Amino acid sequence: MADDHHPATPDGRYFVVRGRLWRKSDPTLPHGKREDLVKELMDARRAIGSAKRDGDGVAVLASRAIVDRVKRELGERGPVWWHDGAPDYNRHMARNTPYAEWFARCSTD
């Protein structure tokens, strides 16, 4: 989710962190499903940290696979969730995308 520190693009597809676009979750996901997925994502991220501290490389890989699966279910990775044929600019620098003018205005406000 975007906030004052991480502005969202006008079309609601991305938020920006340090000039880079990050795809937002699919806004059409039912609220309960989204909550369940976010909880699973946070659990998997905590598991990665724990596995790293324990030196368990197998568990790190397994937890990363869960993170990837959940992020795909949320719509943050994989096929885009919009249907207008617009390309995906996930992880691109905003200044190098069609959002450049918007981002320049955002950055100076």
Contact 70, 40 (CB under 8 A): yes
The secondary element (H helix, E strand) that includes residue 22 is strand 20-23
Phi/psi of residue 80, each to 5°? -70, 155
Amino acid 4: pLDDT: 59
Summarize pLDDT for 56-96 with one digit per residue, the tens. 999 999 999 999 999 999 999 999 999 999 999 999 999 99
Q: What is the pLDDT of residue 1?
A: 44
Q: What is the pLDDT of residue 12?
A: 95
The predicted-structure confidence for 13-53, as pLDDT tens digits, reads as follows 999 999 999 999 999 999 999 999 999 999 999 999 999 99
Q: Phi and psi (nearest 5°) for 14? A: -135, 160
Whether 48 contacts 60, CB under 8 Å: yes
* CA-CA-CA-CA dihedral for 34, 51, 68, 93, to nearest 10: 100
User: What is the pLDDT, as a whole number, of residue 77?
Assistant: 97
pTM of the model: 0.87
